[in-house]
């Protein structure tokens, strides 16, 4: 993924400031481009099957989100499997959210105006974090789920494309949740949680993505509980296309849509 950044993502948008910080032991990268004294914050969980990906692979997407929204983007370099399987990634994001509430203003951020976002495997981390924050009495402004992996049932459509294969996704789940981990729990299957009262959602899917159907089912699941949802399927494109800004013009369109939805909340 790192080697392919130049070809798939490109050089990345110039933004006002990029800072690497330590959030109570969790590495994070803070992007800021707007003029607000204390902007809202997007806590971002990168994709990569809970195994791959890092701050470098998602730098271009986070830069564009910061530039298009005017919000700060706080990207989380959470621990990954197989060295650190479930629940390590969730623990790290919980730590970052807690750090943000305590120290956000010291870094020029508004800790009371926070959204959570993630792509692919990071979409699960974002969706579950939205529920965990709700349960802890810490309301979020929004959840942004980009081509998210949301069900360990892995009931995938037969699309015959090379963006993401069912066997590849099964291997990711096995590394993230090794034998002995009960996958029948809300932290791994958000369909098992009560969706009432969750923050508004933006769900982006791709026609040729095996994760398409479960993500769209989750959007309907949220909407059925009265959660405001914007769900868009981009036709003719592939898994996690919004990160691959150099490969498709749909990427910038998806980010612009996400940005418009977030700006409407503030």
> How many Cβ atoms sit within 10 Å of the Cβ of residue 63?
22
Rounded CA-CA distance 116/150 in Å is 15
Output the six-digit token pair for 4.
Answer: 């392919």
Task: Reply yes or no on whether 151 is catalytic.
Answer: no
Among residues 84, 120, 151, 224, the one annotated as catalytic is 120
Buried b vs exposed e over 85-116: b needs ≥16 C-beta within 10 Å?
bbbbbbebbbbbbebbeeebeebebbbebbbb
Our CA angle for 204, 73, 255, nearest 5°, is 30
Strand partners, 247: none
Burial zone of 51 (CB within 10 Å; 0-12 exposed, 13-18 middle, 19+ buried): middle
The set of catalytic residues is: 120
């Amino acid at each position: 993924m790192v080697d392919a950044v130049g070809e798939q993502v490109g050089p990345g948008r110039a933004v006002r400031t990029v800072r690497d910080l330590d959030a109570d032991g969790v590495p994070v990268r803070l992007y800021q481009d707007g003029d607000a004294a204390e902007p809202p914050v997007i806590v971002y969980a990168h994709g990569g099957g809970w195994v791959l990906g890092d701050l470098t692979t998602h730098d271009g997407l986070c830069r564009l989100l910061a530039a298009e929204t005017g919000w700060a983007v706080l990207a989380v370099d959470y621990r990954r499997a197989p060295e650190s399987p479930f629940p390590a990634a969730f623990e790290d994001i919980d730590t970052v959210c807690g750090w943000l509430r305590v120290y956000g203003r010291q870094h020029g951020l508004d800790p009371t105006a926070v959204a959570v976002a993630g792509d692919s495997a990071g979409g699960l981390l974002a969706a579950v974090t939205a529920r965990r924050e709700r349960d802890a009495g810490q309301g979020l402004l929004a959840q942004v789920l980009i081509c998210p992996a949301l069900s360990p049932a892995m009931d995938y459509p037969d699309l015959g494309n090379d963006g993401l294969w069912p066997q590849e996704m099964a291997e990711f789940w096995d590394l993230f949740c090794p034998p002995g981990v009960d996958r029948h729990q809300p932290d791994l299957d958000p369909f098992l949680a009560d969706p009432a009262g969750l923050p508004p959602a933006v769900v982006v899917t791709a026609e040729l993505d095996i994760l398409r159907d479960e993500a769209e089912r989750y959007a309907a699941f949220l909407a059925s509980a009265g959660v405001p949802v914007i769900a868009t399927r981009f036709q003719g494109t592939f898994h996690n296309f919004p990160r691959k800004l150099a490969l498709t013009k749909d990427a910038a369109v998806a980010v612009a849509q996400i940005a418009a939805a977030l700006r409407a909340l503030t």
